Every structure is written in structure tokens, then in C-alpha cells.
Chain A
């Protein structure tokens, strides 16, 4: 790659970053609320990341532990949602009756903010941690159900005709035709679900407390340590970006050329 190429590809993102830092500096200089400057925050971040995995009791742990706890909750809630949501999506996509049965329920419940389910979780599971996992479960199940169902409904008729002409067994139809054909849709659902789950976990942890990146934000707000809040925002963004990137890579690996008609 020559210099010109590097410049034309690298310059715009750098300029975007510079703009953010510029506005941030301007705000921190003009603000009367002790809004931290980018440099102060940067040195604080260096300090925070020097020892990301320390433990001083349950309410004072390194940022690494906080991120790890949040990821664990997301993984658990999301995993359970996948276990329920993907098979449910397959059934809804395959059987018109079930589709008609569940569509009103899904339409009704999907627009509800997942945090509204938190009290129900607290009531039923009698604990902050399972309630947070429950909230993640609820918010990540919808994209997986809906995308899987749409994927099943959109399996090209040609493939199903092939299955009928070859007279494949139901198992072969599922394993050789339905599953591979639905996989790209399903992975889109998974990607949306993980994205939402990562959004929601921060808010849920703010309410439930314990260890986690969301709780850390709230804790630092109580300590009036704005620098750490800003660091947390960047960490949350970065982790979200990595999750998204990994899932896009996964999805492209399983997407095949469609039949041209």
C-alpha cells in the first residue's frame, strides 16, 4: 500500500477522532462542573488498566473483573435465549398455525423495554444476578425468534422442491436444506440479540448492583469520579464493537451464494 492510500483510508477516521477529542476539550475547558479533560482521562485510564484484575472486596474490583462479570451475564442470558428462541423460531417459521398463535404475543411484548421485566425477575428469582440474566434473556430472545422464523419462511422454494423430488427424510430436510439456508438469518438474529443484550446489561446492572461494568458506572457516579465513567463508556463501546465484529465474521463464513433465477 502506498502513502496516498494510507492517507486516504486512515485520515478520515483520525479526523473523526480528533473532532471528538476537540469537542470534548472545549466542553471540559468551558464547563464549570469539573468535567475532566481528555489528557486527564487518558492518564487515569493508564492507571485503571495497569491493574485491571484486582479485588478489594465485592464493591471494589478491577475493570477487567467488571467487564468479565457483565460478559458472563450476557453470555448466560443470551445463551438461554438462543436455546429457547432458535427452536421456537424454527417452529413458528415452519408451521402456519404456530405463527398465527405466537405473532400477536411477540408483537405485544417485543416493544416493551427489557428493563420493565427486571422487577418481575427480582420477584420470581429473588436475586439481583438472576434478575439481570432474565432481563438479558427477554431482550435477546425476540431478534432470534423473529429472524429464525423469517429465515425459515424465506427458504427458496427451489430448495424445498429439490427436497420433495429427492424425497428426503425430514431429518435430511432439516440438516441439509433448512438449517444451512436459515443459518445466515439466524446469525443476523444472534448479532442483533448480542448487540441489544450488551446495551441492556449496562442499564440492568445500574439497577441491580453487584459486580459489572454497568454497576461500575453507577458506583463511580456516586464517587463523582467522572473520569472513570468516561473510561467505562469507551470500554463498553469497545467490547460492543468486538462482539459485533466477531459475529459478522462468523456470519460471512456461513453465507453462501444464492440460486440465481
Chain B
């Protein structure tokens, strides 16, 4: 942490833990510049669960990649925990849409790779004691336990189902104890039942770890069920934030009791109105 920050700044820092300030992103293509995002302003508090929702091509993944540091903005700044985001790092762990597990490593080794980097001898996180192999193994195992996959630890990604792969991806991200968990449509490729199960697991895990989460989704129910705040994005090109909806539903949340909760239905309606009335997607083919 930056030593220049005095203690009185901490509450402010927590309220604006992750800050996106006047960010624009333009991609250079063969046909000239393509403006993907413009005028993005967003602040996310510590421990908040935020989803980005919008039609495909609206730049939600672009925004997530910017927060991850995988790409740098054309204009504006992104600040996380008082520091400008200049590149990717283990403090902002990413769960990729297609899990991105290394197929030649077992589930255990996939998770261990990140754990080793953050907590091991070669660890780059300052001020933490370097842990030995036993402790790193224990951490890895704990992460796999958390997503209910300790039995598959020594299988390769090719030998397990899509839902299990995605869980390993989540375990890999969580095992690094990131300050922010970034998820890019993590359940998009899964069937509805598996998706519901993983959403429930994610809710429980996040309640435990108090993580700050930014998640890209195109699923309205997923957004309302999980989020404290839903960021609704307008259609691209040059997409921006159309509206931010605060979801004030008490936690822990249960999908069964919420199903006919009027407040839940109200939020759901608000998102659907935004997506299908005000930002009705124009298919260009």
C-alpha cells in the first residue's frame, strides 16, 4: 500500500476502491479507428459485487480487460486501491470466459501456478512471508475444496466437464487472494442448471471472502441475483454506461425465495426495460 496515504483517506479509498475515470478505448483496425468505449466513469466500493450488462459488442469485456490491465485505455485513468492500473497483476485475478486452463497441467498444478507466484519464494507481493511448498500445497488444496473439486485435483482439464473447468478457473483466481475478482461471462458457456449451481456457490464464496467482484454477463437473472450494483451499457460502437442500478436486496439471497419477491421482479424489469426497450439491439449483418 502506498505509504503516502494517511489513515483519514482510507474510508474514501474503500468507497472508491476501484475507480474508472473518463476512460475511452479506441482500437486501430484495418478500416481505421474503431471507438469501442467512451466517457466511462465508474466507482466501485471495496467488497461490492458489480455486474456489467449489455448487448454483445457493447464493450463490456473491453471494460473488464481495462480493469484487468490486459489492455491500456486510449484516454482516461483507472485506479485500484489508490494506484493507477498499469498492467495485469495477481491482485486483480481474472476468471476467463473459456476457463483458459493450461491443458497440459492437472487442475492442482493449474491452481498451484498462481499460488506459487503470489505466496511462494519467487513471490512478488511485498511484506508477506514467503511460504514453503507445504503451505502452498495446502492453499491450493483449500481453493479446490472451496469449489468442491478436491476429488478431481489430479485430472487434466480435458478429463473434466465444462462446469468443473470453470470452477477450477474460479479456484485459481480465488487462491491468489486477489483484491478484486474479475469475471468475464464465467458461466456463459454452461447449461442452465450448472450455471445456477455455480452462481449459488459463487454467492457463498463471495459472502465468505468479502471479495470485490466485477462480472460481465448477458444474463438478467444472474445480474440481479448476484449484484449490489448493475452497470448497464449502451450499444456500441462508442458504448458508454447508460445507467447504474443499485440492487438493494438483503443477503444471503436465495433464488427460490427471490423468484416471486416484488423487489426482485422490479429490478429484473428495470434491467429488461433498459436492454430491450431503450437499447433494443439492432442486428447489423
Interface digits, A133-147 against B, CB 8 Å rule (1 contact, 0 not)?
A: 000000000000000
Query: Is B157 touching A161 in the complex (CB atoms < 8 A)?
Result: no
A33 to B198, CA, bound (A): 79
Q: Which residues of A contact B (CB under 8 A)?
A: 158-159, 161-162, 164-169, 172, 176-177, 180, 256-261
Is B152 close to A, CB under 8 A? no
Return chain A residues, CB-CB under 8 Å to B99.
Answer: 259
Q: Which 6 A-B pairs have the closest CB atoms?
A: A257-B158, A256-B103, A158-B100, A180-B104, A164-B88, A165-B88
Q: Which of B14-22, B89-97, B216-224, B245-253 touches A? A: B89-97
Is B122 close to A, CB under 8 A? yes
Cβ distance A239 to chain B, nearest Cβ, rounded Å: 32
Interface digits, B41-72 against A, CB 8 Å rule (1 contact, 0 not)?
A: 00000000000000000000000000010100
A-B contact pairs, 18 of them (CB 8 A): A161-B94, A161-B100, A165-B70, A165-B92, A166-B114, A167-B117, A168-B117, A169-B117, A172-B117, A256-B103, A256-B104, A256-B156, A256-B158, A258-B103, A259-B98, A259-B101, A259-B103, A261-B97
> Given A162-B100, A165-B88, A259-B99: A176 and B117 within 8 A (CB)?
no
A260 to B114, CA, bound (A): 22
Q: Which residues of B contact A (CB under 8 A)?
A: 68, 70, 87-90, 92-94, 96-105, 113-114, 117, 122, 124, 156-158, 176
Query: Is A161 touching B98 in the complex (CB atoms < 8 A)?
Result: no
Looking at B89, B93, B100, which has the most chain A CB atoms within 10 Å of its CB? B100
Cβ distance B136 to chain A, nearest Cβ, rounded Å: 14
Return chain A residues, CB-CB under 8 Å to B93.
Answer: 165
Return chain B residues, CB-CB under 8 Å to A256.
Answer: 103-104, 156, 158
Chain A residue, CB-CB nearest to B176: A166
Return chain A residues, CB-CB under 8 Å to B96.
Answer: 158, 161-162
**Cross-chain contact of B113 among A158, A172, A180, A257 (Cβ < 8 A):** A172
Cβ distance B31 to chain A, nearest Cβ, rounded Å: 21
Query: Is B70 touching A166 in the complex (CB atoms < 8 A)?
Result: no
> Given A165-B88, A256-B156: A159 and B100 within 8 A (CB)?
yes
Query: Is B70 touching A164 in the complex (CB atoms < 8 A)?
Result: yes
A158 to B102, CA, bound (A): 9
Query: Is A166 touching B117 in the complex (CB atoms < 8 A)?
Result: yes
Cβ distance B164 to chain A, nearest Cβ, rounded Å: 14
> Given A166-B114, A169-B122: A176 and B102 within 8 A (CB)?
yes
**Cross-chain contact of A158 among B92, B98, B117, B157 (Cβ < 8 A):** B98
Cβ distance B126 to chain A, nearest Cβ, rounded Å: 13
Chain B residue, CB-CB nearest to A254: B104
> Given A259-B98, A259-B99, A261-B98: A165 and B104 within 8 A (CB)?
no
Return chain A residues, CB-CB under 8 Å to B94.
Answer: 161, 165
A166 to B122, CA, bound (A): 12
Return chain B residues, CB-CB under 8 Å to A161.
Answer: 70, 88, 94, 96, 100
Looking at A167, A176, A257, A260, which has the most chain B CB atoms within 10 Å of its CB? A167
Query: Is B98 touching A162 in the complex (CB atoms < 8 A)?
Result: no
Return chain B residues, CB-CB under 8 Å to A257.
Answer: 103, 156-158
For the A-B complex with A166-B114, A256-B103 known, give 11 more contacts whose Cβ atoms are closer than 8 Å: A158-B100, A162-B96, A165-B89, A165-B92, A166-B117, A166-B176, A172-B113, A172-B117, A256-B158, A259-B98, A259-B103
A169 to B117, CA, bound (A): 8
Return chain B residues, CB-CB under 8 Å to A158.
Answer: 96, 98, 100
Return chain B residues, CB-CB under 8 Å to A261.
Answer: 97-98
Query: Is B90 touching A259 in the complex (CB atoms < 8 A)?
Result: no
Query: Is B100 touching A166 in the complex (CB atoms < 8 A)?
Result: no
A168 to B158, CA, bound (A): 23
Cβ distance B133 to chain A, nearest Cβ, rounded Å: 16
